[in-house]
Amino acid sequence: MPGFEYIGEAEHRQVLEVMASGVLMRYGFDGPRKGQWKCRELEENLATRFGVRRAHVCSSGTSALSTALAVCGVGAGDEVVLPPFTFVADLETVLLAGAVPVFADIDETLCLDPRSVAAAMTPRTKAVLAVHMCGAMARIDAIMELCRTHQVTLIEDAAQAAGATFHGKALGTFGRVGCLSFDYVKTITCGEGGAVLTDDEETYRLAQAYTDHGHDHAGADRGADGHPHIGANFRLSELHAAVGVAQLARLDEILEVQRRHKAMLKDGLAGIRGLQFRELPDPAGDSATFLSVLLPSEHDARQAAKALAEAGVDGCFYWYDNNWHYHRKWDHIKTFTSPGRLAIDRFGYGSDLTKITLPQSDAVIGRTISMLIKLRWTEEHVRDRLARMKSVLA
Ligand X SMILES: *Cc1c(COP(=O)(O)O)cnc(C)c1O
Q: Which residues bind ligand X (CB under 6 A)?
A: 60-62, 86-87, 89-90, 131, 157, 159-160, 181, 183, 194
- Min separation Cβ 305 and ligand X, Å: 20
- Min separation Cβ 234 and ligand X, Å: 10
Q: How far is CA 107 from CA 63, 117, 145, 217, 278, in A?
A: 28, 11, 18, 43, 9
**DSSP assignment letter at 278:** P
- Min separation Cβ 316 and ligand X, Å: 17
- Cα separation of 80 and 73, whole Å? 11
- Min separation Cβ 257 and ligand X, Å: 20
**Nearest residue to 326 (alpha-carbon basis) of 299, 366, 295, 294:** 366
To the nearest 5 percent, what fractions of the chain are helix, strand and coil? Answer: 45, 15, 40
| Beta carbon nearer to ligand X, 161 or 305 | 161
- Min separation Cβ 245 and ligand X, Å: 17
- Cα separation of 390 and 310, whole Å? 14
- Min separation Cβ 387 and ligand X, Å: 30
Strand partners, 191: none
What residue type is assigned to position 175 of the chain? G
User: 213 and 231 in contact (C-beta within 8 Å)?
Assistant: yes
Query: Using CA atoms in the order 89, 157, 59, 344, what is the torsion angle rounded to 10 degrees?
Result: -40
| Beta carbon nearer to ligand X, 205 or 325 | 325
Report angle CA 135, 136, 141 to the nearest 5 degrees. Answer: 150
- Cα separation of 220 and 342, whole Å? 38
What residue type is assigned to position 134 of the chain? C
- Min separation Cβ 112 and ligand X, Å: 13
**Nearest residue to 230 (alpha-carbon basis) of 103, 11, 34, 70:** 70
| Beta carbon nearer to ligand X, 176 or 260 | 176
Catalytic residues: 186
| Beta carbon nearer to ligand X, 52 or 82 | 82
| Beta carbon nearer to ligand X, 147 or 190 | 190
Query: Hey, CA dihedral for 25, 28, 30, 36, is it positive or negative?
Result: positive
What residue type is assigned to position 55 of the chain? A
What is the distance, to the nearest Å, from the Cα of residue 283 to the centroid of all Cα atoms in its chain? 19
What residue type is assigned to position 185 of the chain? V
**DSSP assignment letter at 57:** E
| Beta carbon nearer to ligand X, 131 or 371 | 131
What residue spans of 27-121 are helical by DSSP H?
Answer: 38-50, 61-71, 88-96, 114-120
| Beta carbon nearer to ligand X, 90 or 238 | 90
Q: Which residue is nearest to ligand X (CB)?
A: 61
SS3 394: coil
